[in-house]
Structure 1
Amino acid sequence: MYLNCHTYYSLRYGTFSETELLHLAQANHVTQVVLTDINNTSAALNFVRKAPEYNVRPILGLDFRNGVNQCFVGIARNNEGYLELNNFLSRHLHEKKEIPVAAPKFEHAYVVYPFEKVVENNMSIFADNEFIGISISDLRRLPFSKILNLKDKLVVQQPVTFRNKADFNAHRLLRAIDNNCLLSKLDKTEEGNEEEKMFPIQNLAMVFSEYPFILENTERLMNACSISFDFSEKRPPQNQETYLGSSEEDEALLERLCEEGLPYRYETVNQDILDRVNKELSLIKSMDFVSYFLLNWDIVSHARKQGFFYVGRGSGANSIVAYLLRITDVDPMELDLYFERFINLYRANPPDFDIDFSHRDRPEMTKYIFERFKNVALLGTYVTFKERGVIRELGKVFGLPKSEIDLLCEGRWDLSRLDEVSRLVLKYGRLIKDMPNYLSIHAGGILISEKPLHYFSATHMPPKGFPTVQFDMVIAEDVGLFKFDILGQRGLAKIREALDIIAYNQPEKVDTFDIHDIKKIKTDESVNNLVKTAQCMGCFYVESPAMRMLLKKLEVDNYLGLVAASSIIRPGVAKSGMMREYILRHRNPGRTEEKAHPVLLSIMPETYGVMVYQEDVIKVAHHFADLDLGEADVLRRGMSGKFRSREEFQKVKDKFIDNCRRKSESDDVIFEIWEQIASFAGYAFAKGHSASYAVESYQTLFLRAYFPLEYMVAVLNNGGGFYRPEFYVHEVRMLGGTVHPPCVNRSHYANAIYGTDVFIGFGFLRELESRVVERILKERASNGSFLSLEDFLDRVLISVEQVDVLIRINAFRFTNINKHELLWKAYFFLSKGKKIDHPKLFAPKHQDFKIPELYTTHLEMAFTQLELLGFCLCSPFELLIEPPKNSRGSKDLEKYLGHHIDIYGYLVTVKNTSTHNGKRMYFATLVDQHGQVFDTVLFPPVAAKYNFRGKGIYRFYGKVVSEFGFLSIEVIKMQKQDYVQDPRYADMKTSTKVFENKKAEAKANRIS
């Protein structure tokens, strides 16, 4: 009887989930329900999936509205009707058109107009599939309306939006958030009716007992509706069924591509390789995944034709077929990758390829996929109300001042001291927390379906400009749609741009190497030496302090070692204590025999019997606990964060323990191994994933080893990496480059390199407008370099404020005129208003102004760079009031091992973390006076006394310690050092004194 039910996917309107709606229906003995969210289908598939568990027959529909103004309700008679409704809604969402007053002609869907709209619009003629909805509140007016004569057209339309008063209050707050207004200013027309509730079915029938024909019409309408989707484990894939048009053609193409790929990938093709290929092909065919492989092959083939870089990773890297089709660059035979981690007969959820493209190439690849295939959409996701966000939104709704909102967000409050309004914010915040706030786009998921995607969901059109379904990846998998992950990654853009920079800066070297010759790069001594010494600044995935530390501890000097390190660094392995155990066994082989369980060692000999990769869980569950591959995969999915049924997970856990006990394993061993499995908790990598990362790491390490300056410029031009841009600028200097501030004749928007000279790009100047940069570059390209400031001002349309930025950063230093003099000249030449842009037939004549002799100090330049670039191009140690008392640095740590050291360092990065009992501690990485990096740790007692107070130079006193050969300083005392006063804002006496000293120093240098 309930034709108009909402969930909280009626965004910023509804108040509970689809499963709570089903629970509500069950509690009120309602056996069939129509889900009709407002212009949204996010809940639909899961509603249908879960309904049988509550003995409810699900029916799907849509509540079509303009804002809160209800136009009509559409109810799908069948799956074709649901498609019609989704087509209609999607068209209006894409084109941002209002919903019309009258519904279009639906062939397979019913339309219910609310009583009020029928009266308001004086509607009198209705199609066979159109009805008039009567709510409980409408019954008072029905006897006095002509509508009562249309007996065959009247149905019950009692909306369901709330369960109780708390839901209604939450609804009002959501409406105020949506309208960005104070709760007290919320218009009543923006709210739903508080009586939009579900009542027991007997009560509803009693209320309408005077009009039994309304109940009969409603029952007849609902009984005529039926919707079904296959959620069974044996469901067929819903993706595009074939690539060429038939299964036979697809299989023949896949086999041919594998044959062609064998000589490309392997110099010698042995029987093991052929057996692996045949095994995989057999499984791929039997599970209907042939088209999935071919679609991915089509995508990467197009990328190669366009010259786009990509990396295929994820569990798909475990497949030799993927390797032969060049979807991935990871050889599963070399790494003994477990194909069953990717596809096995017991695995219900689909296979997974993650294909990374440069963030610059990804939009073009997405566009290609939408043009190449028929039924395509981006995968959706939901952005939910998080705790701080809820507090901020509700704080505004209740009219709290910003200072009080900030206090609540930071948790710095005592409940007993809060006023009533602040308490309400916290109280209702708990109601709204984790509700969906708005629809967004999955990071990289694209669906390519056999059926139109509107068969499953309506689509909306986000700013990216591609249709996006209104459900997430979990629902997609449930219904048999497996995504294609097309991801953007800056690391690939760095490689691509580095090659372009090499082509113009060292063109003679372009043909001396192949960045795709991974086999050669992996065995390159210079590259492996960088890994061994952890000289990895700017290199993909291996540049962080934690990774640098791990590489030194493991003494990694080869590709396989880096593959292991890429996974060992993940929180799951570290948290379980197995990272430390792995290092101990790696450095002391005798420990492996002593500590490793014989079965685990036989399963994972290359990782010393330690679980490191996701597939290790499958292996251990299968071989150690005798679980079948399907049950083992349940454990893996339980770790991945994509798991839904905790009950199923618990059953597998119980079986794991029972099987081990039957094999006479002790509880100590059983639970120790189980804890290792549990600790992975969504953080472990598949081995193929780690191997893919390691391939890209080796490519970046190769570029750093042989073309360090070009590579660092590419890193800077693509947003840097783990660290702030200034540290990559520092690295350029350490690698032999000379860094110059922006120059109007040499710089571009991005950083540029000429030989070993690197010019900071105009894009680094925070205050310089992009349109000004465009004018400078266009004029320079058309008419050559600028000869003087006057020449520049004559040729480029620019305001005095913008030329001021260029002069202050010393972009006209080629004139050899002091920047203060240049500023005087610029202000003489330009008014405060905009300069008129007009063609110049003759070179203008300029008056020769007499300007007093002016000077610029080194310090003044450094502080100007700090202001305009965010960092200075000199050593920050030159800015200290008092120079360091000693010259100790990273090179001295070994000499002071076990002893105390007094050392200065410029802060690179600091990691705040907590001990197991919640006490704060810090790990900090710094640069010493000589430009070398060193690491410190502040344990809780010291961290309680000292804090890092932002960027700057700190003086440390502490003990030099070594852990597995990695040296660091356990800090005892710490003090931030003061910079000199900015001379640009110092008093005149100080400025004059500094200036005179600098002048005398310069004179002395000239005499000498």
Structure 2
Amino acid sequence: SLDPTDDCGWNQPKTPEQSSLGVTENPFEVLWQRSHAAISLRYPGIKAAELATIQHRLSKELIAVNKLGFATYFLTVADVAQMIRDMRIRIAARGSGAGSLINYLLGISSVDPIEEGLLFERFLSTERSTLPDIDIDVESARRHEIYRAIFRRYGGKRVTLLSMQSTYRGRGAVRDGGMALGLDDQQVDEIAKNMWRFSAKNFRSEMSNKPELADFSKLTESDRKLNLLVDITQRLDRLPRHISMHPCGVILGNSRLLDLTPTEPSGMGLPMSQFDKDDMDPMGFLKLDVLGVRMQSAMAYTIKEIKRVKNVDLDLDKVARDDPTVYKMIRTTNTLGLFQIESPGQRELTGKHQPTKFNDLTMQISLFRPGPMKGNMIKPYLDGRHGFIQPDYMHPDLHDILKESYGVVVFHEQLMRIMQVMTGCSLARADEMRRQLGKPDKARIVQRYFKKSAAARDYTPAVVDRVWSILEGFGSFGFCKAHGAAFAVPTYHSAWLKTHYPTEFIAGLLTHDPGMYPRRLLLAEARRLGVRLLGIDVNYSTSQYVVQKSGKELGVRVSLGEISGISKPEMDRIICEQPYTDVTDFYLRARPSRRTLERLALVGALDTIAGVSNEESIHNRSDLLVKIRQISSKAAPKIDKNQLAFDLTNLDQLPVGNTPPTRQQKLAAEMAVTGMDISEHQIQKFQQMLEEMGVVRASEVGSLRSNTEVLVAGVRIATQTPPMRSGKRVVFISLDDGSGIADATFFDEAQRRCSQLLFQNKLLLISGKTRRTGVRGVSILAENAWDLRQLWQQWEKRAS
């Protein structure tokens, strides 16, 4: 029989042997030397007093690492981070690991823990013996490339990917249940789309609560199959569906790794452990989270475009984080495309918060989390920040700890420092007690220790009880400041790029699509920023969005990949054969399918080579479409470069007399072919009607007084139903009208009037009253909503 400890090394850390790292000396000595050598690089020209502080902090961290025997762990992660940088891939640390000075000096993290007031003990302490987590964000477009490089670096016997159990949730359970019952795909899809923010096990009870499920609920009374679908969906809830590759986990171990974990091929072909993340600590494996982040890809692409177009070498890590123009742009709340702060809730919080420095970004990102929001931390913080209330620090000893958050305990690090100050315990023990606060039986032990120790240090019973009442409920509400600071770095970097290089940044965003909104909204944001959009053109477009010169201005050229149904071989041929002299030349050399050729013509991608790109042309796009249908009626002949070519110029003569397409028809073609309104915003079609109705543009909502009755219209770009403290459902809708984004909130009564529209219709008109929540914080308390297309049809009938 196997002995877990002797045979499997139960609970014993297993990292790659030092020989695989190229380390021949004592690993701890190597770690000590590398960390100290990096001080001059990270802190050039530092003064003696500051150097002493850094050295003291570093020594404390190194002592803890040596005591735990984790030197090889840090060297391994640093080796992986350096390997990624050598591949010229952007990298950033996230999580509590940003609180380590060692990680900062080794280049694993780009956050200075001393400057940001972060604690090493929140990340690692001698009170815990399990390997800590260091999460690394990388460019999503190159994540698999990194995985393969790690396998090459350490060998297949020391590395596997991590797996995860994929379980049934509401929509997945409905879809699989419907398939098993043989229900119509479209009907099942409609049911699934209306399952918003509730568990599959509550399907039947939610049918009576959700207005959008009312029609389906009636059908189940007479349709046995649909009634059975509800039962099946509820029974499938949380059951395992399949094992899949973890989105970011890589397991590193010693040469015995494959003796201790079963593996199977992953979707990308690399070996995948059948263990999940919960098995890592007892098995002692090093779990490295290499998370692909699309914003990192977007920023990397932006930097490449800046170099290509303007010949500027840019290192974002060296950009100063106190640029006033960056914070001025953020304070406008036009944060679309910025990491972490582009959601409707974050935009509203930005309007209230009005950040002016880097730590404000850390604070804002940390406050907009489920814990702090449930703990009602945002309002007292904002009131204290803007002088509406006098901050309450509870005791003079806690002033410096709570000064940055105006008396509100927001961060885990603050709780740890309060524990240390009031009880005299170490920060390591304070973190262990913080972890125990979420467990009722252990929380009572912490309470007794805190009150006894604080009383022994002459704190009055009133102060002790007051502080404990805050700490007691903090366990489930607080947030790790190191995590917030790590997120604030790419937030600032993305804001800096948007401020100083908007054209290149928009190209990066459109190419890698990193945000929560549809790509067409980025086109609207480009127009708002004054960034010129260049339509698809077979002579200039590529597989990516690229910055190109058009006349004297730079613009962003839309990608060929936006053409619906275009294949990769077709796109590769078009790009490879560029440029083209005319339509026949394009047809013969690029050899697109008839469908692709027509779609290219419909969106104007052939206008330039066909000579129909301006209003003065003899021919128009309709003439071109007629000609395309003629020449594509037969397959394009293959061109033999060794044979003399026939003169095919006569084939390029376009017919005349066809009615040119209107602006609306061109826009409709763009929407049908690309799903985007490239030439102009689709709301322009309704502009005359909206003006007659007195509809307010999104950009004007911020200037209105609170409680003003308004009508807003636009494209629905986001629908959210986050969990609320009251337990009641609140629906948040965001509309884009080309001038900006208007956010509306629907409570119970308003939902009953129009819930079907909120989840199904894309074009909406919303009535309501403005609600001012800060300097630039404005939202609309919705009263009703209508289908904009139906209103347009009615208006057209009356107009005719």
TM-score computed with the length of structure 1 as normaliser: 0.68
For 1:338, the aligned partner's letter is L
**Structure 1 residues 561 and 407: CA distance shift in structure 2, 3 A:** closer
- In structure 1, what is the equivalent of residue 197 of structure 2? none
Task: Note if 1:786 corresponds to 2:786.
Answer: no
The Cα of 1:261 is off from its aligned counterpart by 0.9
Q: Could you give the per-residue CA deviations for residues 765-802 of structure 1, whole angstroms, max 9, x where no partner exists? A: 1132222211111111xxxx222212222322123222
- In structure 2, what is the equivalent of residue 357 of structure 1? 138
- In structure 1, what is the equivalent of residue 573 of structure 2? 775
CA distance in 2: counterparts of 1:890 and 1:428, whole angstroms: 44
Higher RCO (Cα < 8 Å, 6 or more apart): 2
Equivalent runs, 1:66-81 vs 2, <5 Å: 77-78=1-2
For 1:264, the aligned partner's letter is L
Task: Note if 1:280 corresponds to 2:74.
Answer: no
Aligned match for 1:252, one of 29, 36, 41: 29
Task: Note if 1:547 corresponds to 2:346.
Answer: yes
- Give secondary structure in 2 for the equivalent of 1:516: helix
CA distance in 1: counterparts of 2:233 and 2:708, whole angstroms: 51
CA distance in 1: counterparts of 2:233 and 2:624, whole angstroms: 58
CA RMSD in angstroms, aligned pairs only: 3.4
Task: Note if 1:613 corresponds to 2:411.
Answer: yes
- Give secondary structure in 1 for the equivalent of 2:341: coil
CA distance in 2: counterparts of 1:638 and 1:438, whole angstroms: 34
CA contact (8 A) 1:317 1:692 kept: yes
The Cα of 1:896 is off from its aligned counterpart by 3.1
Equivalent runs, 1:801-950 vs 2, <5 Å: 801-814=595-608, 815-816=611-612, 817-831=619-633, 836=638, 838-839=640-641, 841-845=644-648, 846=650, 850-873=655-678, 874-880=680-686, 882-885=689-692, 886=694, 888-890=696-698, 892-893=700-701, 896-907=704-715, 908-913=717-722, 915-928=724-737, 931-947=739-755, 948=758, 949-950=760-761
Q: Could you give the per-residue CA deviations for residues 90-143 of structure 1, whole angstroms, max 9, x where no partner exists? A: xxxxxxxxxxxxxxxxxxxxxxxxxxxxxxxxxxxxxxxxxxxxxxxxxxxxxx
- Give secondary structure in 1 for the equivalent of 2:144: helix
For 1:381, the aligned partner's letter is M
- Give secondary structure in 1 for the equivalent of 2:336: coil
Q: Which runs of 5+ in 1 are unaligned?
A: 1-76, 83-225, 640-645, 995-1008
- Give secondary structure in 2 for the equivalent of 1:553: helix
Equivalent runs, 1:218-233 vs 2, <5 Å: 228-231=7-10
**Structure 1 residues 423 and 229: CA distance shift in structure 2, 3 A:** farther
Task: Note if 1:516 corresponds to 2:297.
Answer: no
- Give secondary structure in 1 for the equivalent of 2:666: helix
**Structure 1 residues 227 and 254: CA distance shift in structure 2, 3 A:** closer
CA distance in 2: counterparts of 1:241 and 1:610, whole angstroms: 46
The Cα of 1:807 is off from its aligned counterpart by 0.7
- In structure 1, what is the equivalent of residue 458 of structure 2? none
The Cα of 1:729 is off from its aligned counterpart by 0.7
The Cα of 1:942 is off from its aligned counterpart by 2.6
- Give secondary structure in 2 for the equivalent of 1:563: helix
Q: Could you give the per-residue CA deviations for residues 49-97 of structure 1, whole angstroms, max 9, x where no partner exists? A: xxxxxxxxxxxxxxxxxxxxxxxxxxxx547xx9xxxxxxxxxxxxxxx
Aligned match for 2:447, one of 635, 651, 657: 657
Aligned match for 2:360, one of 551, 558, 561: 561
For 1:438, the aligned partner's letter is H
- In structure 2, what is the equivalent of residue 736 of structure 1? 530
Equivalent runs, 1:602-681 vs 2, <5 Å: 603-620=401-418, 623=421, 632-634=430-432, 637=435, 649-662=439-452, 663=455, 664=461, 669=466, 672-674=469-471, 676-680=473-477
The Cα of 1:957 is off from its aligned counterpart by 4.1
For 2:644, the aligned partner's letter is L
**Structure 1 residues 914 and 325: CA distance shift in structure 2, 3 A:** closer
Which of the pair has more CA radius of gyration? Answer: 1
**Structure 1 residues 876 and 953: CA distance shift in structure 2, 3 A:** farther
- In structure 2, what is the equivalent of residue 492 of structure 1? 296
CA contact (8 A) 1:903 1:956 kept: yes
CA contact (8 A) 1:879 1:980 kept: no
CA distance in 2: counterparts of 1:852 and 1:246, whole angstroms: 78
- In structure 2, what is the equivalent of residue 445 of structure 1? 249
- In structure 1, what is the equivalent of residue 212 of structure 2? none
**Structure 1 residues 981 and 360: CA distance shift in structure 2, 3 A:** same
The Cα of 1:803 is off from its aligned counterpart by 0.8
CA distance in 1: counterparts of 2:357 and 2:332, whole angstroms: 12
Aligned match for 2:284, one of 440, 465, 480: 480
Further displaced range: 912-921 or 282-291:
912-921
Aligned match for 2:763, one of 934, 945, 952: 952
**Structure 1 residues 384 and 620: CA distance shift in structure 2, 3 A:** farther
CA contact (8 A) 1:597 1:609 kept: no
- In structure 1, what is the equivalent of residue 210 of structure 2? none
CA distance in 1: counterparts of 2:78 and 2:17, whole angstroms: 15
Q: Could you give the per-residue CA deviations for residues 913-971 of structure 1, whole angstroms, max 9, x where no partner exists? A: 46544433333333456x13333333333333234352224253424533465223323
- Give secondary structure in 2 for the equivalent of 1:592: coil
Q: Could you give the per-residue CA deviations for residues 622-674 of structure 1, whole angstroms, max 9, x where no partner exists? A: 555777766654565569xxxxxx9xx33321112333554445897477425
The Cα of 1:258 is off from its aligned counterpart by 1.6
**Structure 1 residues 78 and 360: CA distance shift in structure 2, 3 A:** same
The Cα of 1:340 is off from its aligned counterpart by 0.5
CA distance in 2: counterparts of 1:709 and 1:655, whole angstroms: 58
Task: Note if 1:579 corresponds to 2:579.
Answer: no
For 2:777, the aligned partner's letter is F
CA distance in 2: counterparts of 1:470 and 1:805, whole angstroms: 46
CA distance in 1: counterparts of 2:272 and 2:83, whole angstroms: 23
- Give secondary structure in 1 for the equivalent of 2:569: helix
Equivalent runs, 1:189-208 vs 2, <5 Å: none
- In structure 2, what is the equivalent of residue 344 of structure 1? 125
CA distance in 2: counterparts of 1:808 and 1:397, whole angstroms: 41
CA distance in 2: counterparts of 1:427 and 1:791, whole angstroms: 60
- In structure 2, what is the equivalent of residue 293 of structure 1? 74
Task: Note if 1:529 corresponds to 2:328.
Answer: yes
CA distance in 2: counterparts of 1:278 and 1:236, whole angstroms: 25
Equivalent runs, 1:328-343 vs 2, <5 Å: 328-343=109-124
CA contact (8 A) 2:352 2:382 kept: yes
**Structure 1 residues 465 and 622: CA distance shift in structure 2, 3 A:** farther
For 1:380, the aligned partner's letter is S
For 2:630, the aligned partner's letter is F
- Give secondary structure in 2 for the equivalent of 1:802: helix
- Give secondary structure in 2 for the equivalent of 1:580: helix
- Give secondary structure in 2 for the equivalent of 1:677: coil
Task: Note if 1:538 corresponds to 2:337.
Answer: yes
For 1:945, the aligned partner's letter is R
- In structure 2, what is the equivalent of residue 968 of structure 1? 779
Q: Could you give the per-residue CA deviations for residues 5-60 of structure 1, whole angstroms, max 9, x where no partner exists? A: xxxxxxxxxxxxxxxxxxxxxxxxxxxxxxxxxxxxxxxxxxxxxxxxxxxxxxxx
For 2:689, the aligned partner's letter is E
For 1:489, the aligned partner's letter is V
TM-score computed with the length of structure 2 as normaliser: 0.84
**Structure 1 residues 612 and 78: CA distance shift in structure 2, 3 A:** same
The Cα of 1:811 is off from its aligned counterpart by 1.0
CA distance in 2: counterparts of 1:240 and 1:428, whole angstroms: 47
CA distance in 1: counterparts of 2:181 and 2:784, whole angstroms: 46
The Cα of 1:869 is off from its aligned counterpart by 1.6
**Structure 1 residues 960 and 405: CA distance shift in structure 2, 3 A:** closer
The Cα of 1:859 is off from its aligned counterpart by 1.1
- In structure 2, what is the equivalent of residue 264 of structure 1? 41
**Structure 1 residues 420 and 858: CA distance shift in structure 2, 3 A:** closer
CA distance in 2: counterparts of 1:772 and 1:501, whole angstroms: 25
CA distance in 1: counterparts of 2:769 and 2:419, whole angstroms: 46
For 1:575, the aligned partner's letter is K
